[in-house]
Structure 1
Amino acid sequence: MGIIAYPPFSAEFRDYDWVQIAGFANWVVWIDPSDPQYLLNVCPEIGQSLSLRVRPRFVAPQQGSFWVLYRPALAELNGWGSFPDMLDDSAMVECDHVGNPDALHPHQVSIHVRDVLRFPDIVTRFAPTSAGSLAVEPFRRHDGYVQSFSSKTFTYIDRNIDSDWGTWVVCQRTGLGYAVILFGAWDPERSHVYVGHRLLSQNETAALGLPPP
């Protein structure tokens, strides 16, 4: 059975009351409409019809929409760690499923772009909150391999265990202190991202290794 296209909140994330959007991260990639051999290198726009290359277990809904992470091509291939400035050009994209894979393109689905939420706009789209929990203690303990990279606007912190599973966060400094705007979780069975405007306490800020705001 394939995973559903709007990922359920696992037990690990049930008390994440701050989450406004749940979507897919690395299970799908955006295809350049001018040449399907290449990845899309410009942020999707509302109203566009595009295609996604998906993993075999991905199942898009026949009705309703789902959210997908967009990263510029180089960041998609090599990660934000290699290109942290591309955090500013990344987005969450709401998609309507309009076409199934076919014999020629067995791992490709057609979508219509319903909404685009660029990373710089997340803190204005959603009100700040301190509700719910945030699993940052493993970052403090360096439980796994932890790396941190920053652009002018965002800090991306990645943690993985033997490259088998991990979590990551994207943080932004605001007038109220630091906020987590995305929290990602991945393993061989999933690659989900959770989006909101979660203010960090002093203890959580320290756990993530961020300097005092």
Structure 2
Amino acid sequence: MSEETIAFKCGSCKQVPDKPLLKDKNVEIVAIEDAMDWADFKHDTPDLNTEIWERALKPPAKGDLKKVQVYFPFHMSVGETFWTLFRPAYSHFNGWDEHPEEINFSAFIKCRFEDIISKNEKKAWINVRVEEVLLLKDVCNKIPARDGAGYLDSFHMFGEPQLFQYKDWIFLDANAQSNLGIWALIKRVKDYNHLVAYGSWEFHSNMVYCGNLIIPEDELNSFMHISE
């Protein structure tokens, strides 16, 4: 493996997964998730063994050079660009269901991997340049709407999903004994349900897909009883 590439072995199978596929013709953005933590400190970069350090509470701005700590399943090379889902620190650790007020400060971030600061077998500090920032609350205004019929069908393959509502947001989450799972974030705008983010995760990947997909009312209603 090149010294300019950062990748980590799976803790279970001890293999390094392939680089993620970051294109999908059905959505505008394919992003990685749960593979990096955004720092928010002014002092020197902490040692990789330091667990407690300041995480970012708000998204970066376009043009920023930011320090991030990356870990499995991150797999990228210096010079590559990629999208990632940024969640402020509290929801990053505990989920939007615990901190729904942070949904409006969550964003898809396009980054360029600039250089490696330090690394070991499990973690690395790297610098990334922020090229684009798309707040989740702005997706409906920035991406043209398309038909999203059928996009929630996969939830029927799991047991009854979890659902919570916060203001104009609806969040669905389902998993199979914590081995693999999916989630969907829907923004209610007037009489329409806009699927703006769809997550899919398993042992070796954690991906998020961004679009502006209109979910038919009857398809969403099949889940709405869960929150009652």
TM-score bin (small chain): 0.7 to 0.9
Secondary structure of 1:47's aligned partner: coil
CA distance in 1, matches of 2:181, 2:90: 21
Question: Aligned partners of 1:146, 1:46: CA distance in 2, in Å?
Answer: 36
* 3-state SS of 1:40 partner: coil
Q: Which residue of 1 aligns with 2:102?
A: 86
- Partner SS, residue 77 of structure 1: helix
Unmatched segments (≥5 aa) in structure 1? 10-15
Show structure 2 runs of 5+ residues with no match: 1-15, 47-52
How many angstroms does 1:166 deviate by? 0.4
Q: Which moved more, 1:49-58 or 1:96-105?
A: 96-105
**Contact 2:182–2:200 (Cα < 8 Å) also in 1:** yes
**Which amino acid in structure 2 is aligned with residue 121 of structure 1?**
D
Which stretch has the larger CA shift, 177-186 or 102-111? 102-111
Identity value in percent: 21
Partner of 2:55: 39
SS of equivalent to 1:60: strand
Residue number among 108, 115, 137 corresponding to 1:120 in the alignment: 137
TM-score (normalised: structure 2): 0.79
Aligned to 1:157: 172
CA displacement at 1:176 relative to structure 2: 5.0
C-alpha distance in structure 1 between counterparts of 2:140 and 2:61, whole Å: 20
1:26 maps to 34
Instruction: Verify: 1:55 aligned to 2:63, yes or no.
Output: no
Q: CA deviation at 1:6?
A: 5.3
CA RMSD of aligned residues (A): 2.5
Instruction: For 2:23 and 2:123, locate their aligned partners in 1 and report how far apart those are by CA, in whole Å.
Output: 25
Distance in 1 (CA, whole Å) between partners of 2:127 and 2:160 is: 36
Cα gap change, 1:33/1:131 in structure 2, threshold over 3 Å: closer, same or farther? same
Q: Could you say which structure has the larger radius of gyration?
A: 2
1:41-66 per-residue CA deviation (whole Å, 9 max, x = no partner) reads: 11111111112222244222433421
| 1:130-145 mapped onto 2 (5 Å cutoff) | 130=147, 133-134=150-151, 136-140=152-156, 143-144=158-159
Q: Structure 1 residues 210 and 25, CA, compared in 2 at 3 Å: closer, same or farther?
A: farther
Aligned partners of 1:128, 1:47: CA distance in 2, in Å?
Answer: 28
Residues 77 and 113 in structure 2, CA contact (< 8 A), matched pair in contact too: yes
Deviations 1:103-149 (A, max 9, x none): 47952221000010001110011110006741x234346x2352112
- Structure 1 length-normalised TM: 0.84
How far the C-alpha of 1:100 sits from its partner, in A, is 2.3
Cα 1:131–1:173 change in 2 (3 A) is closer
Does the 8 Å CA contact 2:23/2:29 hold for their aligned counterparts?
no
